[in-house]
């Protein structure tokens, strides 16, 4: 299986594409983590509100118990404190729920921010590289076996523009002319980044 080409410029282009893919993936992962951290920072204010509400409720609860111990007027005087305690408890609960929601959004944001660009780049890279690997591997096998020259020439003949063909193929039957067939096969190998300075067996 051919993973990289044999010609220096094509190999360099493939290596640069691989490096670019790694940088792209790493960059989007970093971006996703940054979004996660920025959203996660919103948890701290809600956490502080919840802690302050809990401390206030605990403090007022002790005061309410002391007032309630007073005879005759204790229950009446403690009622406003009980209402405030219930409100602060609800505020602490709402703060905890908001903190959990923000944490969930922050976790999802990593995937939403980074997943689609990364998947797009990986899919594009895989389509281009796997297609090249299949063609290059088949061409290398044809190059090493007898009769491969004709198939390579036929492939080149079916995909090369006419104006380019006219530059190196003799008029008439290109596949029937040994020189034209050889040039077409070599051209197809060069297109794939493979060595063309070999003799077909």
What does the pLDDT read at residue 184? Answer: 83
For residue 152, how many other CB atoms are within 10 A of its CB? 27
Specify the pTM: 0.69
For residue 75, how many other CB atoms are within 10 A of its CB? 11
Q: What are phi and psi of 192, to 5 degrees?
A: -90, 0
What distance in Å separates the CA atoms of residue 59 and residue 63, rounded to the nearest whole number?
7
What does the pLDDT read at residue 154? Answer: 80
Please give the chain's pLDDT, 201 residues, in tens.
Answer: 888 888 889 999 999 999 999 999 999 999 988 888 887 777 777 777 777 777 777 777 766 666 666 656 666 666 776 777 777 778 778 778 777 887 778 778 878 888 889 999 999 999 999 999 998 888 888 888 766 777 888 887 777 777 676 666 666 666 777 777 788 888 888 888 888 765 554
Are 106 and 36 a contacting pair, CB within 8 Å? Answer: yes
């Amino acid at each position: 299986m051919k993973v990289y080409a044999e010609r220096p410029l094509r190999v360099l282009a493939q290596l640069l594409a691989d490096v670019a893919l790694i940088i792209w993936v790493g960059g989007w992962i970093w971006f996703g983590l940054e979004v996660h951290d920025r959203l996660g920072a919103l948890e701290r204010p809600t956490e502080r509100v919840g802690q302050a509400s809990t401390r206030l409720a605990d403090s007022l609860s002790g005061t309410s118990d002391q007032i309630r111990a007073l005879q005759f007027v204790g229950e009446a005087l403690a009622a406003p404190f009980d209402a405030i305690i219930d409100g602060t408890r609800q505020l602490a609960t709402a703060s905890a729920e908001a903190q959990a929601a923000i944490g969930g959004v922050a976790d999802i944001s990593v995937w939403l921010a980074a997943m689609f660009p990364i998947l797009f780049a990986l899919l594009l890279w895989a389509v281009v590289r796997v297609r090249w690997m299949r063609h290059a591997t088949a061409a290398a096998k044809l190059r090493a076996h007898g009769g491969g020259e004709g198939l390579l020439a036929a492939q080149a003949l079916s995909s090369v523009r006419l104006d380019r063909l006219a530059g190196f193929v003799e008029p008439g039957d290109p596949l029937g002319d040994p020189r034209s067939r050889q040039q077409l096969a070599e051209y197809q190998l060069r297109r794939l980044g493979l060595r063309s300075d070999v003799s077909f067996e």
